[in-house]
Amino acid sequence: MSAASSTTRLSAPGLLRHAVLLATAALVLIPFVWMVSLSIKPPGEIFRTGFSFWPHQFYGFENYAKAMTEAPLPRYMLNGVIVCTLIVLLQILVCAPAAYALAKLDFPGRGLLFGMVLVALILPHEVLALPLFVLGYKLGILNTYAALIFPYVVSPFGIFLFRQFFKTIPDDVVHAARLDGLNELAIVWKVMLPMAVPAIIAFAIFSVVSHWNSLFWPLIAVRDQALMPPPLGIMAFRNEEAGNDYGPLMAAATIVVAPLVIAFLAAQTWFVEGMTGGAVK
Amino acid sequence: MSISLSAITKSFGKNSVLKEISLDIADGEFLTLLGPSGCGKSTLLRILAGLELQSSGTVSIGGRTVDGVRPKRRDVAMVFQSYALYPHMTVAENMALPLRMRGLNAWQRLPLVGRLLPGTRIAKRQIEEEVRRTADALSIGPLLDRKPGQLSGGQRQRVALGRAMVRQPTVFLMDEPLSNLDAKLRVQMRAEIKELHSRLGVTFVYVTHDQSEAMTLSNRVAVMLDGELLQVAPPHEIYADPDDRRVAEFIGSPKINMLAGTVRERGRIDAAGTTLSAVLDMPVGTLVAVGIRPEAFHLTHHAGAGSFAGTVRLVEHMGSDLFVHLDVRGQGEPLIARLLAERAPHVTIGQTLHLAADLDRVLLFDEAGRRIRTTREGRGASVARLREMA
């Protein structure tokens, strides 16, 4: 009887735990809720004292229409999809063999190379902006998709993450694969990567989120409107002569954030499955 | 295929793991590398497979030197202790992989394009048939569509065996394949491996630290310790006629009794408060180690020369046998004797007991641990004795 009641009634520590979790969740979520709320309000209501989520006068259509038309937001979103997809694919293509070599192959200088990966891991990407800009200029790729993609293809984080994961795969699996006749690259693609699905998912989330939201480097690398990524769509509503146009600005921000949120929620159960289903000894 | 290892050494930095190992394995032989963990036996097996490179020495398989030949070209198959199955592939895919890598070219292996190429369909059907046949032989046919994660330890072991068998290699390498199984299953799989060997008739090299596996399975056992090959001989000879003290101590359970002895006049030996008669050409005063297997003792009623007197410390009933632990004065560890239960029915703790040793089963070792063969019993004598027993 006591066991049954303890599952329905929360104990004091349980209540405290939930209170802390709820407070944290609220802290994270409130700005987003506010953003969505502002995106459906007319300009007059935005600065009214007192807060209500639903506006007195629904102004959503106007704000979202303006957000979609004022700046070429659909184009920016498409650019975001193209750039992020290519970045993730190329990153996996480059990082997985590098990580495999660092985790499973024995060669002189391996420790040094891994040390360099760690150093690269702590360098913020902004530090490299100017050298990369000059390099991009010399190669003549500025103001193209290539300029947005290539600087991110070699990801120290990806190499590090994959290397750590590959380390946990027993050497015997690699040995068995060699005896079965796979060459080293085939081992990476056919054995290591399929076993590292949780790591790939985690890495893909990090990569897509950070590059979808990236603003700094695209501002430097491209000038053509047709190449700009989503966050620049939000920029279009700032610094106008008439001051900031908050309604459409928030609408644009909502549109930019939405794909990530929807994608994450839709794939959530699958992520969890991937994390546990991969745990085959 | 016969295998020949000559003067194989391997060192990791300053740490020497294998010291000049030379070993010839005959075609169709079942040879076991036996030794405690860390003795280098698995390293030797990996060198044989080509998964690791020796520091010096030569490996040849079937008369062909294979140094620098990649593992897949050596025509060896290996079963690993951890099974090393691919968790993301089904049992059928696991077993088919070695065949696919050999029977299909890179284009034919592509998912969609491959199907369109000539010959792919036939080759794939052959592979499927081969996998099915091997799976049925190991009675894992119903499991072909499962993933390794859904199988029990014994089933995974069979899949690992199947993956090795399916491409019909000429040499089987097994690295402690049974040590992750529970005791009952281990005995069962042991019998199946033995049967597999006689059915396939190819060379097996088997690595284990379990002496019962080594003794039951092998044609010959190679005992390794600290990177050295101590003795290579048939199981009964390893047990009854060891060349080295370390071999004698490693093989046999309970462990062989080792007594410190001194040579007296006319080749007699003083040990543990008694005198054993042996015929030895050694100077008086030489220190020797006297090894007596537990079953080489028998109960005797008279005290005196040739019998060990002591008090019983512990009696272990094993059904047909008794293990009697006897505290003997002047001897640090108790002597362990294995007595037939019907011959020693009333042994109790605290009782004083006299044990005599069968003199032709006493093993003598010099201070360096090398075997001293007495003139009375040569190598032939003790082997003949054992044959008689069998």
Position A270 scores a pLDDT of 67
B283 close contact with A: CB closer than 8 A: no
B163 close contact with A: CB closer than 8 A: yes
Distance between A179 CA and the closest CA of chain B, angstroms = 5
* Domain definitions of chain A by residue range: 2-63, 66-277
DSSP class of residue B2 equals -
- Quick one: average pLDDT of B220-230? 92
Beta carbons of A170 and B82 less than 8 Å apart: yes
- CATH code of domain A66-277: 1.10.3720.10
Distance between A280 CA and the closest CA of chain B, angstroms = 5
Query: What length is written for chain A?
Result: 281
B34 and B211 Cβ atoms separated by less than 8 Å: yes
What tokens does A14 get? 């349980």
B225 and B36 Cβ atoms separated by less than 8 Å: yes
Distance between B75 CA and the closest CA of chain A, angstroms = 9
B387 close contact with A: CB closer than 8 A: no
Amino acid at A131: P
For A159-214, the pLDDT digits (tens) are: 999 999 999 999 999 999 999 889 999 999 999 999 988 888 888 888 998 899 88
Q: Cα B335 to the chain's mean position, in Å?
A: 26
Distance CA B336, CA B338 (A): 7
Contacts of A180 in chain B (CB under 8 A): 72, 97-98, 101, 163
Q: Which of A115, A279, A104 is nearest to A185 (CA)?
A: A104
Amino acid at B21: I
Contacts of B70 in chain A (CB under 8 A): 178
User: How large is the angle between the packed helices A110-122 and A156-167, nearest 10 degrees?
Assistant: 130
Q: How many CA atoms lie within 13 A of A280 on its CB side?
A: 26
B206 and B44 Cβ atoms separated by less than 8 Å: no
Instruction: Write out the H or E segment, with its range, that includes residue B310.
Output: strand B307-317
List, in order of start, the domains of chain B with CATH numbers.
3-240 (3.40.50.300), 255-372 (2.40.50.140)
Instruction: Write out the H or E segment, with its range, that includes residue B3.
Output: strand B3-12
State the Cα angle at B60 between B54 and B62, rounded to 5°: 155
Give the pLDDT band of residue B386 (cuts 50, 70, 90).
very low
Least-confidence region, from A177-186, A245-254, B28-37, B286-295: A245-254
Give the closest of A172, A177, A178 to B82, CB-based: A172
For B49-87, the pLDDT digits (tens) are: 999 999 999 999 988 899 888 888 888 999 998 889 999
pLDDT at A40 over 60: yes
For A127-164, the pLDDT digits (tens) are: 888 999 999 999 999 889 999 999 999 999 999 999 99
Strand partners, B316: B323
Beta carbons of A280 and B77 less than 8 Å apart: no
Distance between B86 CA and the closest CA of chain A, angstroms = 7
Of chain A, the end-to-end C-alpha distance in Å amounts to 39
Least-confidence region, from A77-91, A202-216, B274-288: B274-288
Beta carbons of B86 and A181 less than 8 Å apart: no
Q: Cα A32 to the chain's mean position, in Å?
A: 17
Beta carbons of B102 and A181 less than 8 Å apart: yes
A33 and A53 Cβ atoms separated by less than 8 Å: yes
Give the pLDDT band of residue B385 (cuts 50, 70, 90).
very low
Tally DSSP H helices, then E strands, for chain B: 10, 21
Whether the bond between A229 and the residue before it is cis, its omega within 30 degrees of 0, is no
Between residues A49 and B80, the one the model is more confident about: B80
Give the closest of A181, A278, A280 to B148, CB-based: A280
Distance CA B389, CA B239 (A): 14
Q: The tokens 């004022």 sit on which residue?
A: A70
Q: Cα A86 to the chain's mean position, in Å?
A: 13
Beta carbons of A178 and B72 less than 8 Å apart: yes
Give the closest of B78, B88, B101 to A195, CB-based: B88
B8 close contact with A: CB closer than 8 A: no
Amino acid at A253: A
> Per mean pLDDT, which of A162-171, A266-275, B111-120 is the most reliable?
A162-171
Position B378 scores a pLDDT of 46
- Quick one: average pLDDT of B283-299? 87
**Is the ipTM reported for this complex over the cut 0.90?**
no
What tokens does A121 get? 């891991």
Position B38 scores a pLDDT of 85
- Quick one: average pLDDT of A236-254? 73
Give the pLDDT band of residue B279 (cuts 50, 70, 90).
low
Tally DSSP H helices, then E strands, for chain A: 16, 0
